[in-house]
Amino acid sequence: MSISLVLSMLLALLVGAFLTGAFFEPAFAGDSVLPGSDALRALYDSKERSLRAIKDLELDYSMSKISPEDFERSKQELSLEVAVILDEIRKHEQR
């Protein structure tokens, strides 16, 4: 196995762990999370948009609209974006 393949697999596992947390986070319930927190609301919106983008990407790939290479690259980028957003949400919620 090449080093790049091992690193890609490790990155995929780490991203998967972060995404698993995303699916178990409580759903944003409008103003009931933190009244007046526009920053937190924006983060939840960003998370939802990014997760939707991953689903759309997977659909495009299943319909052979994008190459396997583009799919993997884009999915990794979006997954990392979700992980960063989740980290920011946790920081805001701990305040």
**Residue 4 pLDDT exceeds 80:** no
Amino acid identity at 42: A
For the chain, domain boundaries:
3-18+36-93
Question: For residue range 14-67, what is the model confidence (pLDDT) as tens digits?
Answer: 566 555 555 555 544 444 444 448 989 999 999 999 999 999 999 999 999 999
Reduced to 3 states (helix: H, G, I; strand: E, B; else coil), residue 9 is helix
Distance CA 10, CA 46 (A): 25
DSSP per-residue string spanning 19-80: HHHHHHSPPP-GGGSSTT-HHHHHHHHHHHHHHHHHHHHHHHHHTT-S-HHHHHHHHHHHHH
